[in-house]
Chains A and B, each alone.
Chain A
Amino acid sequence: MIPVPIIETQDVSKIYGMGEIQVIALDRVSIRIQAGEFVAVMGPSGSGKSTLMNILGCLDRPSEGHYILDGVDVSEMDRVHLAGIRNTHIGFVFQSYNLLSRTSALKNVMAPLIYKRKNKLSHEQQSGLAEQALVKVGLADRLHHMPQELSGGQSQRVAIARALVNDPVLILADEPTGNLDSKSGEEIMELLHDLHQQGRTIVMVTHDPEIAAHTQRTIHLLDGHIDQVIENGFKQKAVAAEELGHEPV
């Protein structure tokens, strides 16, 4: 049985500027990531990391090529459908947490549930689900705290709870420890590893080679294409099936 990859990009390119001056941010990138994988993306600034993450996160569409997420080609979808995919399939964890200000931790975590269109939950069910997610990340006693009353590590936990609440197939973490001190950073990484152990698929952008080394695989980007892929030998149940479809340049 050939496992279906969660993420499959086929020669994805992103080109900015349609006039004479064109900037190629991504150049025919092909990646396959299997369910349950923990993958790090590294590269200097301008290498196309952000562009790749935006496309993987359905915030942007590729100029060329196809992006198949969980068996569905999303590269041609319009804004409304992409919003739906982001809501149900993807959980974002940002460097700067991106919590809604003046909104309690609980309401922040509930937010993705109110934008869900299929299988709508009642207000009470939403609240219950959000509370469970916050308990899972260890914030049972911070439900009604405002973001400004939370430490960086706690804020990032709220963000992770929000990313999990809709049970997405993919978690995209963009420098999740970048704004944290080393102790909180380690705690967040532990949390992400726990999620990975529970079978979550995680793609994480990082600058820190040490953090990257703790993932199963590190994809190095340079000038818009894949420069190098390093297997970190981090043993996992899903490792056997993974493979990288990667065009030589």
Chain B
Amino acid sequence: MNLSEFLRLARDSILSNKLRTLLTMLGVIIGVASVIVMISISAGTEATIEDQITGLGSNLVYVNASFGRGGFGPGGGDSGGLVYDDAAAIAEQVANVAAVVVEQGSSETVKAANVALDGVTVQGSTAGFPSVRDITIAQGRFFTDKDVERKAKVAVLGATLATELFGEGDPIGEVVTVGTTKLTVIGTFEPRGTVSGVDFDAQLYTPVTVVFQKFIPNQFARIIGDRVRMLIVEVEDPSLMTHTIEQITLFLAKRHGVSLDSLDFSVTTQQDIIQTQESTTAAFRNLLAWVAGVSLIVGGIGIMNIMLVSVTERTREIGIRQSIGATPNDIRFQFLTEAILLSLFGGLIGVVAGIAAAWIFGTASGMRTVVVGSSIFFSFLSAAAVGIFFGYYPANKAAQLDPIEALRHE
């Protein structure tokens, strides 16, 4: 027999029993489709995260308060060792620094005319905040250095927070009560989304000095200064980034009186954050790919099951074919061709179903899904491999049947 005859035979057999055909292909269809859907979900998540992070620019250095092993230097304690004055000191004394922005937050109840919201993050910062966080003013203005200095009782609202408090109305000039302090709204932000778990749109922004004074008063502030959670340093020349990070680390260590191996702060860059995110999503993607891969193998076992049943069911056909001259190889290739064709068809249907399912899932859930070309290619390829691998055993079993026994089979 030649290839075209095998293909014709397989086609006739596949078309003559549609239910059996569908059952055989089902596992492969589901397997291939799930590989494509799962990878499209993780690729979509990855793309979303990357979009958010890359907007932040590559000239920023983040200095976070952390527990030092020494623990109790100046400003040491349970929230680490950064103080407000560090910002000014870095800006003045470390070379290649353009600006320093501080962040210190507190969770408060925020009230407007008719609405009260619990647990809103009140983010204290300085004038440079919108530019380093890549967030744009929608209405009004952000607070200035002067507002920070004067401890002006003003607030800028994140996009969703503004809507929650004031609906469609204009919040500029309105007064919100934060805890017991009344702040005047001077601006609102455009939506920015969630970056590294922080929802910028749900926060209220106020001068960091107001936060120190009203929300987290510190009895030691006069001695050691006001603690802050984070400093964001904008670097003038990004090519000197590594050197600048070293300088900041040495300067702060000296200023805090801690040794380099027991720092009470950590210094990271945009690249570090992206890398962390990438390794997390890569792990997530690998996990999904393995789960989907297992479902492909299960699909292959499905093919083998149905093929084995089908060999038994078709024993008489095999006997008839042997009696009219089919050799063991003819029978083997007949069944193997069927298995491979079924897997390829199943793979093809699975690809279409996977792309459709990814689109439907993305539309229905609002999550971003990106169908990855290589996932189509590899899942299709493994479907074919699964067909050959799991089709061989049943085909071989069919080939080894004894013609007399097979003809006698009812």
Contacts and interface: CB of A to CB of B under 8 A. Distances in A.
Contacts of A84: 325, 327
Interface in B162-210: none
Nearest to B15: A102
A102 B16 contact: yes
A114 interface: yes
Interface in A48-99: 54, 57, 59-60, 79-80, 83-84, 86-88, 92, 94, 98-99
Interface stretch (A115-123, A176-184, A227-235): A115-123
A57 B328 contact: no
Nearest to B328: A79
Contacts of B317: 100-101
Contacts of A116: 325
A87 B324 contact: yes
Interface string B389-410: 0000000000000011001000
A163 B285 CA distance: 60
B213 interface: no
A86 B323 CA distance: 7
Interface in B3-58: 4-5, 8-9, 12, 16-17
Contact of A115 (B4, B319, B321): B321
B326 interface: yes
Contact of B329 (A80, A88, A162): A80
Contacts of B9: 114
Range, interface on chain A: 20 to 34
B316 A98 contact: yes
A116 B330 CA distance: 11
Interface in B292-334: 316-317, 319-330
Given A103-B16, A115-B330, A120-B2, A57 B323 contact: yes
A111 interface: yes
Contact of B320 (A100, A107, A123): A100
Contacts of B8: 123
Nearest to B316: A98
Contacts of B1: 114-115
Contact of A98 (B2, B323, B327, B329): B323
B322 A83 contact: yes
B407 to A, nearest CB: 7
Main secondary structure of the interface of B (DSSP, over half): helix
Contacts of A86: 322-325
A97 to B, nearest CB: 10
A5 interface: no
B338 to A, nearest CB: 14
A57 B320 CA distance: 13
Given A102-B16, A114-B1, A80 B327 contact: yes
Interface in A104-136: 107, 111-112, 114-116, 120, 123
Contacts of B407: 59, 94, 98
Interface in A157-209: 162, 166
A92 B404 contact: no
A150 to B, nearest CB: 16
Nearest to A172: B323
Nearest to B403: A59
Contacts of A54: 404
Nearest to A54: B404
Interface in B230-279: none
B5 A114 contact: yes
Contacts of A59: 322-323, 403-404, 407
Given A98-B320, A100-B320, A114-B5, A87 B325 contact: yes
Nearest to A115: B325
A57 B327 CA distance: 15
A77 B326 CA distance: 15
Interface of B: 1-2, 4-5, 8-9, 12, 16-17, 316-317, 319-330, 403-404, 407
> What are the 10 A-B residue pairs with the smallest beta carbon separation, nearest first?
A87-B325, A115-B325, A102-B16, A83-B327, A112-B324, A114-B5, A80-B327, A98-B320, A59-B403, A86-B325
Interface of A: 54, 57, 59-60, 79-80, 83-84, 86-88, 92, 94, 98-103, 107, 111-112, 114-116, 120, 123, 162, 166
24 contacts: A59-B322, A59-B323, A59-B404, A79-B327, A79-B328, A80-B329, A83-B327, A83-B328, A84-B325, A86-B322, A86-B323, A87-B324, A98-B316, A98-B320, A98-B407, A99-B320, A100-B317, A103-B16, A111-B321, A112-B324, A115-B325, A115-B330, A162-B324, A166-B325
